[in-house]
Amino acid sequence: MALKDIWNGIAYVVEEIAFLPLNFLRDLELESWFAANFLNWFFMLIGFVAFVYWMKQLKSFNDNNEENRKVVSHSFLAENVQGDK
């Protein structure tokens, strides 16, 4: 068995087996773009739902005044805020 056979074997595994789902999506894209990108739409939906949930949580904390707004990142942004309690 030559070293070239090992590299050809690795190339076969990667191209024919590992990329099989991607080849399926490439062929499906010719028939229906939306079906081929279903997974992307699903992830975007999850991200949108998470964003809306996060914004609702931030609004509830903001409405309850639970955030400490006295701390600033630099002293020149506010006067004498660090000492107030």
- DSSP code of 19? T
- Asked if residue 62 has pLDDT above 90, the reply is no
**pLDDT tens profile 1-56:** 799 999 999 999 999 999 999 999 989 989 999 888 998 999 999 999 999 999 99
Distance of alpha carbon 43 from alpha carbon 8, whole angstroms: 35
Q: Give CA–CA dist 55/60, Å, rounded.
A: 9
Whether residue 81 is predicted with pLDDT greater than 60 in this model: the reply is no
Task: Note the pLDDT of residue 80.
Answer: 57
Distance CA 9, CA 61 (A): 57
Structure confidence at residue 50 (pLDDT): 98
> In which band, very low, low, confident or very high, does the pLDDT at 73 lie, cut at 50, 70 and 90?
confident
CA–CA gap between residue 71 and residue 62 (Å, rounded): 16
Look at residue 83 and tell me whether its pLDDT is greater than 60.
no
